Every structure is written in C-alpha cells, then in structure tokens.
Amino acid sequence: MIQSLQLRTDPATAASELRLIGLASTKLNVDANRIAGIVITRRSIDARQRNVAVELTLNVFLDEKPESLSLCKPEKFERLPDNAPQAIVVGTGPAGLFAALRLIQLGIKPVVIERGKDVDSRRKDMAQIAREGIVDPDSNYCFGEGGAGAYSDGKLYTRSKKRGNIDTVLNIFCQHGADESILVDAHPHIGTDRLPEVIKAMRKTIERCGGEVRFSTRMTAILSNGNHVTGIDTTGGTVAGPVILATGHSARDVYEHIVDAGIEAEPKGIAVGVRLEHPQRLIDSIRYHNPAGRGKYLPPAEYTMLTRVDNRAVYSFCMCPGGFIIPAASEPGQMVVNGMSPSSRGTKWANSGMVVEVLPEDVENTPDNPVLKVMRFQEKIETRFFSEGDGSQNAPAQRMTDFVKGGPSTSLADSSYAPGIHPGRVDELLPPHISSRLRKGFEEFGRKYRGFLSPDATVIGPETRTSAPVRIVRNPETLESVTHCHLYPCGEGAGYAGGIVSAAVDGIRCAEALAAKIAISPDSEHNKQ
C-alpha cells in the first residue's frame, strides 16, 4: 500500500530519513515497522517566517517494499528507418536538442547544425576568454553544444503552466544523467559541472537513433522558393528540408539575415543592468533570518526581487547561490557578464542579474532596420563597457553602496569573476534611465531586506543578454513564420521562451508542429509501433 503524505517540518528532520519515517508513522497513525520505505516527491523551503520550514510530499510504502525508488519515467528513443523524412534543426541549445529528440520520436531524421564546437571543446575556448580575453565568435559561453545554458546554473523552473511538457523535459534530463532531485525540488537545477555531460548524452541519443549533429558549421543563408523554405546554406554545404530555427538570443548575424531575407520580425523588449555579487553568508543570514547563516541542513539561500520604478520593472534575474560570475561576450570588442553555479552551489559568493525593463519604445530607431534597434542598443552598451577597460575581459565594477550614492569606488571586495575587476563608474557607463532606476530599486530592496544594500556587495557590468532583442513572428497555431512556410522560429532566440525549460518545451512544440505539417501525426510515433 502507498500513502501520500504532506509534511511541514524543520530542516533537520527533513534531512533525516529516520526522522521522516518516525514523523510519517505518527501522522498516519501506523507502526513505524510497517513503513518499508519513503520517497520524497516534492520539496520546497518556506523562509517567509523566522523559523524556516521545509515542505515535503512523500510516498509512504506500507507493508511492502517499493519495486523501485526511482521517480524517473524514461522516454523511448528508437532508431529511425533509413527512409525517414529529414528536417533541419539550427542550434543545439535546449530548444534545438529537445526538438531533435521529439523529431526522432515522430519518425523524422533531424540534421542538427551548430556553429560552435562540441561541449568538451568549448571548455578550452571559454578558458581562453578568462585567461587572455580572446573571444572566439563561434565558440564561447553563448555558442556551442548546449547553447548559452550548457555552462550555466542549469535552472529548470519556469512559470509555464504546461505541466505535462515540463515533466517530459525533466524526465529526459534525468534519463540522460541529471540527478533525480530535479523531479523533486521546487526550484530544480542541474549545475554547471554536471549539465555538459547530460547534454553530451542527449547528443549521443540523437546520433544513436540515426540523427546527425554537425559542429563548427555556421548557417549562412535560409533558402526559399518564394515564401516556401527549402533548406539552408552552411559553411559545410547545403542542407535540404523544413527548418526549426533555434539559434539562441545572441546570434545577431541570424537576426540580420532574417531582416535581409524579408522574414517578418519585430523589435522585442529586454532587460539591462548589472551582475550583483554578495558574500553568500550575507544572503543566507538575510533570507534565513539568522546572523549565523544557513546552518547545517539548509541549502545556500536564493532570493527574488521585484519592484517598479518610473513605470518600468526592476528585478533580479538568474540568481546563482554559491556561484560565480563569467564573461559572456560572443564577439570581440564586447563586454557582457552572466552567472552560473556548480551543482553543489559551494562557492562563497552569491550573484544575480539586477536589471531594468527596456521596451522597444524606450529605444531610439537606428539608421538600419528598426527591427534591430533593441539589438543595436545592446551592442552599444557592451562596446562602451569594453572600451572603458584595457582590451581584456577585466570588467568595470563598483561597490553597491557607491553605485547608489553615485560616486567612485576606491577599492573593491573580492569577486568570483575570473578575468578580474577594476574600479569603474558602472553607474555612468549604463544609460541614465537604467542607472537611475537601478539605484532606486537597490534602495527599496535594502529597506525591505536589512543588510542587502551593503558595501561588501559589488556591481559588475553589464548584464544585457537577458532575452532576445528580436521576435521572429510566427503563426500561433502552426508555429510557422507568418511570411515563410516550413520555417519554425523556436525557443529563446526567436522570442518565445525565457530559460532552459521553456525553450525545451517550445522545441518539442515546434517539432510536433513540423511533423503535423508534413503529415506525420504525433499519434503515430514510430517508436510506439
């Protein structure tokens, strides 16, 4: 017999299976000896009150041992027949990878095109960015196998309500090596140290089933006969087939090509600001209401901040507890920072994007196509920050309190940012409407959370790659481009997702839409025959 049980308990009890069994026996009014096992199916932390609680959902097995304690429900991926129809997937981020896997399930051979290198080879290029400030425009933190998420915190939560697809995404991650805690935790994450191996395993599944993955292959043109997309040109030759375009939010050359090709697109709002870095111990003490920090049984604390200043949102973005800040430029002559965390979240720093909402109407038109004006706004900021430095990726930084006061910092706190930081007027390098709103937002967050506005906190800039600056317009029903059939703008880069899970879900949806268009029904999957 299996009994589902919801518990609210202290962190020490939540961390002890023996204590949980004892608590379950009391709650269910059964002899503890009858409990043959327990499986936690849901876990979250409630730190709203001074006494921090852990909320759990358990499956309690009475009088019988469970056949398996695993929560993972693997998906089937079988080899495609030699005569399977072919489709192109451009990009190996989560949207592209999950689109390719779903195409396989639907009996379609994916040919996956990736401008960057495989996930292992990327490591050398990213190390070169940190050590020498050299940015390879095709292999960096944004481009290469796994996309921008491959070397990130690996956050796997989303506000999407499409629970079925989300469960599918999480289970696929698990069957390819992710820890099953992602099926349990309210705010799951894989970790930058584990995610690359998971991505590599997913690619091997694609190849084992008959799909192709071509690295170091840049798409140079989308080919069409009138408004009918027939394939793509690449640096490795022409590839024929319908196209799922999942190139990520930093492929600016793709946006330029989209505009030149007459594919309908529009400028899209983004958010711009800084990376804010605190000592993790300080964030723990604030969030867990304990000057001593988190103690033995609680994880490194996270936070979410949101307010509105002068009719624009000011908020935290991609908060990385126990993490570090990384150089995320995708072209030479640019400065961009981002954050990530290992699976342990074990560093002494906490960092988060702190950004201000920027709408298209906030940005002046540029001499070229107005569709690209928000992208040009991004580029201008990134170039300005780079030009302020010494030609490397050493970033300008300012103590948080000096940023708020509008004065220089004569010294800086230690930072996790590997290329190094130097005192700089971050408040002046950002556009005034960004700086002023950030300043007021920091003041409000400091009033709400005592100690948050701290001289031990550092702002490092800029944070500009929060989302795509362009939306490639698609039909909401067919998911095709509104101007070009057989073209499926997909994921974060097309303006339809905002993180790993939502991008993966969109990849699945685009694969299903493509299959429907070429008359292969999701209900007739070859692996269910």
- Stronger pLDDT, 147 or 444, i.e. the higher one: 444
Residues 201 and 146 in one domain: yes
Token code pair at residue 312: 């624009």
The pLDDT confidence band at residue 164, using thresholds 50, 70 and 90, is low
Residues 478 and 505 in one domain: yes
- pLDDT number for residue 237: 97
The pLDDT confidence band at residue 151, using thresholds 50, 70 and 90, is confident
Asked, for residue 68, whether it belongs to a domain, the answer is no
Residues 262 and 284 in one domain: no
Residues 393 and 281 in one domain: yes
Residues 227 and 358 in one domain: no
- pLDDT number for residue 69: 80
Residues 105 and 207 in one domain: yes
How many independent structural domains does the chain possess?
3
Asked, for residue 476, whether it belongs to a domain, the answer is yes
Residues 490 and 453 in one domain: no
Point out the domain boundary residue: 437, 463, 489. Answer: 463
What residue spans of 65-194 are helical by DSSP H?
Answer: 94-105, 119-132, 163-175
Cα separation, 409 vs 391, whole angstroms: 21
DSSP count for the chain of H helices, then E strands: 13, 22
- pLDDT number for residue 153: 67
Residues 243 and 304 in one domain: no
pLDDT at 519 over 50: yes
Instruction: Enumerate residues 6+ apart whose C-beta is below 8 A from 364.
Output: 373
- pLDDT number for residue 528: 44
Cα separation, 496 vs 502, whole angstroms: 8
The pLDDT confidence band at residue 523, using thresholds 50, 70 and 90, is very low
- pLDDT number for residue 524: 45
- pLDDT number for residue 307: 98
Instruction: Enumerate residues 6+ apart whose C-beta is below 8 A from 83.
Output: none
Cα separation, 380 vs 459, whole angstroms: 19
The pLDDT confidence band at residue 159, using thresholds 50, 70 and 90, is low
> For residue range 24-34, what is the model confidence (pLDDT) as tens digits?
999 999 999 99
> For residue range 244-293, what is the model confidence (pLDDT) as tens digits?
999 999 999 999 999 999 999 999 999 999 999 999 999 999 999 999 99
> For residue range 213-249, what is the model confidence (pLDDT) as tens digits?
999 999 999 999 999 999 999 999 999 999 999 999 9
Residues 122 and 146 in one domain: yes
The pLDDT confidence band at residue 521, using thresholds 50, 70 and 90, is very low
> For residue range 98-122, what is the model confidence (pLDDT) as tens digits?
999 999 999 999 999 999 999 999 9
- pLDDT number for residue 126: 87
- pLDDT number for residue 149: 76
Residues 351 and 213 in one domain: no
H/E run at residue 517: helix 500-517
- pLDDT number for residue 435: 98
Pairing mode of beta strands 109-113, 212-214: parallel
- Stronger pLDDT, 149 or 125, i.e. the higher one: 125
Tell whether the torsion through CA atoms of 137, 141, 146 and 149 is positive or negative: negative
Q: What is the CATH number of the domain that holds 53?
A: 3.30.70.2700
Asked, for residue 484, whether it belongs to a domain, the answer is yes
What residue spans of 328-431 are helical by DSSP H?
Answer: 373-388, 400-405, 426-429
Asked, for residue 73, whether it belongs to a domain, the answer is no
Average pLDDT score over residue span 447-466: 97
Total length of the chain: 529
Q: Please check whether residue 454 is in contact with residue 282, taking contact to mean a CB–CB distance below 8 angstroms.
A: yes
Got the DSSP string for 323-356? -EEEE--SSTT---EEEE--TT--SSEEEEEEEE
Is residue 500 classed as helix, strand or coil in its secondary structure?
helix
Asked, for residue 117, whether it belongs to a domain, the answer is yes
> For residue range 310-333, what is the model confidence (pLDDT) as tens digits?
999 999 999 999 999 999 999 999
Please report, for residues 395, 406, 420, 509, the alpha-carbon distance to residue 400 in angstroms, rounded to integers and kept in the order given.
Answer: 15, 10, 17, 42
Nearest to 15 by CA among 47, 53, 60: 53
Percent of the chain with pLDDT over 90: 85
Point out the domain boundary residue: 20, 47, 62. Answer: 62
- pLDDT number for residue 202: 98
- Which residue segment(s) compose the domain that 325 sits in? 270-463
Asked, for residue 286, whether it belongs to a domain, the answer is yes
The pLDDT confidence band at residue 193, using thresholds 50, 70 and 90, is confident
Asked, for residue 78, whether it belongs to a domain, the answer is no
> For residue range 322-370, what is the model confidence (pLDDT) as tens digits?
999 999 999 999 999 999 998 899 999 999 999 999 999 999 988 888 9
For residue 196, give the amino acid letter: P
Asked, for residue 387, whether it belongs to a domain, the answer is yes
pLDDT at 526 over 70: no
Residues 234 and 221 in one domain: yes
Point out the domain boundary residue: 445, 463, 481. Answer: 463
Q: What is the CATH number of the domain that holds 119?
A: 3.50.50.60
The pLDDT confidence band at residue 525, using thresholds 50, 70 and 90, is very low
In the block, tokens 């050590």 appear at: 131
The pLDDT confidence band at residue 161, using thresholds 50, 70 and 90, is low
Instruction: Enumerate residues 6+ apart whose C-beta is below 8 A from 34.
Output: 25, 62, 63
Q: Please check whether residue 347 is in contact with residue 280, taking contact to mean a CB–CB distance below 8 angstroms.
A: yes
Instruction: Enumerate residues 6+ apart whose C-beta is below 8 A from 166.
Output: 158, 160, 501, 505
Residues 346 and 364 in one domain: yes
Phi, psi of 117 (to 5 degrees): -95, 175
